[in-house]
């Protein structure tokens, strides 16, 4: 079914590693034209080269590397304009960039809350509002959000992260409800534990204290980033409104 996405122009934020990277491979395989954005340009170039290898019918000009700190909301409009002038259209925006940090609820500083909400929520909302105006004008478009199961159920020691993903879901369910007649689907993807760098970083707080273990032992409960990217591609092609990607896990306290 993912072949139906051929020639779609898709902008993926956070495409330099993990889930965004593997979604890029799945979409390149389906013949999408891609805008790969994140801060680490060298990694994006590597992802681009791999995408071109996955699909020999794609040309180098079909994949754009866009170095962008999504938190810098002033850079959204020039970035969006450059995409339209290069590709002539944008079909799908994947809001995927994000990070987490684990800490005890009472220890979290407000500055950490603000920083994480700025990345995980406000930057995605700002970018999507800009793109929403374009989608509404075109009468077509598709938002994809990499949210989290932590945006549906609480996860211990992830208060800020969980709060940010609940908020993200609220924003986009509300967009979907408001624009139900405008043919702009919203796909909210809620992964559980996926094998990426994200968890290793998240499990150590600023003072080096570890919350839980990021070990091979519990990695059997994680889904590979490749599988997550492939499943996301299928969810996008089918315009599912919500998808959960997880293995059953047992939480121990």
229 binds ligand NDP (CB under 6 A): no
CB 115 to ligand NDP: min, Å: 10
18 binds ligand NDP (CB under 6 A): yes
Q: Is 30 in the site for ligand NDP (CB under 6 A)?
A: no
203 is catalytic: no
Do 121 and 164 form a contact (C-beta atoms < 8 A)?
Answer: yes
> Applying CB under 6 A, what is the total number of residues that bind ligand NDP?
30
The contact pattern for ligand NDP, residues 170-209, with x = CB under 6 A and - = no contact, is: ---------------------x-xx-xxxx----------
Q: Which of 134, 161, 171, 173 is catalytic?
A: 161
Rule CB under 6 A: which of 35-54 touch ligand NDP? 38-40, 43
Q: Shortest distance, CB of residue 238 to ligand NDP, whole angstroms?
A: 20
Considering the rule CB under 6 A, would residue 98 count as an interface residue with ligand NDP?
yes
Stretch binding ligand NDP (CB under 6 A), from 24-32, 95-103, 134-142, 232-240: 95-103
- Give the catalytic positions in this structure: 161
Q: Which positions touch ligand NDP (CB under 6 A)?
A: 13-20, 38-40, 43, 69-71, 96-100, 119, 146, 148, 191, 193-194, 196-199
């Amino acid at each position: 079914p993912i072949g139906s996405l051929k020639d779609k122009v898709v902008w993926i934020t956070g495409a330099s590693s993990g889930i965004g990277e593997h979604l890029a491979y799945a979409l390149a395989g389906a013949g999408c034209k891609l805008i790969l954005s994140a801060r680490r340009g060298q990694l994006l170039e590597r992802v681009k080269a791999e995408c071109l290898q996955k699909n020999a019918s794609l040309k180098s000009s079909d994949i754009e590397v866009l170095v962008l700190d999504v938190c810098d909301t002033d850079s959204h409009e020039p970035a969006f304009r450059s995409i339209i002038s290069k590709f002539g259209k944008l079909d799908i925006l994947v809001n995927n960039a994000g990070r987490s940090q684990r800490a005890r609820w009472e220890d979290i500083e407000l500055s950490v809350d603000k920083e994480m909400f700025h990345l995980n929520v406000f930057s995605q909302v700002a970018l999507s509002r800009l793109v929403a105006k374009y989608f509404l004008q075109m009468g077509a478009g598709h938002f994809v959000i990499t949210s989290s199961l932590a945006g549906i159920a609480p996860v211990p020691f992830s208060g800020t992260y969980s709060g940010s993903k609940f908020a993200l879901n609220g924003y986009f369910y509300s967009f979907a409800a408001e624009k139900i007649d405008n043919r702009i689907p919203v796909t909210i993807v809620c992964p559980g534990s996926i094998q990426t760098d994200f968890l290793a970083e998240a499990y150590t707080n600023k003072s080096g204290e570890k919350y839980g273990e990021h070990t091979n032992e519990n990695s059997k409960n994680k889904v590979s980033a490749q599988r997550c990217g492939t499943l996301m591609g299928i969810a996008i092609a089918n315009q599912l409104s919500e998808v959960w990607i997880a293995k059953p896990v047992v939480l121990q306290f």
